[in-house]
Structure 1
Amino acid sequence: MIRKSFKMYLNEGMTEEYEKRHNLLWPEMKDMISRHGGHNYSIFLDEETNVLYGYIEIEDEAKWAESADTPINRKWWDYMADIMKTNPDNSPVSVGLKPVFHLD
């Protein structure tokens, strides 16, 4: 498994809405994540800065990269664009984080 972590940016005052939407995550989105080799996915929020920190374990970088171009993922990006900092294609602005320590 490949461990990946990243940060994204939540708009001010959108914490409850972000949590609500993820608590109702579409079954098709869950299935797409799994089909593209994503496991053990967590997102954490720093409430002082509105920075979201994501962690996911993936099977393969290329397979995971393909998930970005699926119709369901594009639909999810469009759905979330009003509450997050996004790129012109509505993908969330996401910055990869450098791993510095791990302990099993």
Structure 2
Amino acid sequence: MYKGFKMKLYPGMEKEYEDRHSKLWDEMKEMIHEHGGRNYTIFLDSETNTLFGYIEIEDEEKWKNGADTAINRKWWHYMSDIMETNEDESPVCVDLKPVFHLD
């Protein structure tokens, strides 16, 4: 199973976003894997500051449970100053509808 989604960076935060992800905390990597996430990639459209994420997951419910972990909420807080977020500091994230896939 796989997911595609988009998020939005604040203007001028492209380098900071990339820098923070290049130093992704080990605890976040472990949480992602423990909740069934693999092959996680995020792309940036620099014309619009839109981020496009792709991740392969084992199970939708298992993946959703990762949002309620302490390390995930800490990451959301850490990232909240450079991207659009909801009131709980989660990123404003829009799921994308798959329209084509080729193995």
TM-score (norm 2): 0.99
CA distance in 2, matches of 1:103, 1:71: 36
1:33 aligns with 2:32: yes
Kindly report the root-mean-square deviation, in angstroms, between the aligned alpha carbons of the 2 structures: 0.3
1:78 aligns with 2:81: no
Structure 1: gaps spanning 5 or more residues:
none
**Would you identify which runs of 4 or more consecutive aligned residues in structure 1 move more than 3 Å?**
none
CA distance in 1, matches of 2:97, 2:60: 16
CA distance in 2, matches of 1:84, 1:5: 18
In the other structure, the counterpart of 1:13 is: 12
SS of residue paired to 2:91 = coil
> Map of 1:1-104 to 2, 5 A cutoff?
2-104=1-103
CA distance in 2, matches of 1:9, 1:46: 10
SS of residue paired to 1:66 = helix
Amino acid at match of 2:9: L
Aligned residues: 103
CA distance in 2, matches of 1:36, 1:90: 20
CA distance in 1, matches of 2:44, 2:19: 14
CA distance in 2, matches of 1:87, 1:53: 18
CA distance in 1, matches of 2:64, 2:85: 18
Identity across the alignment (%): 69
SS of residue paired to 1:83 = coil
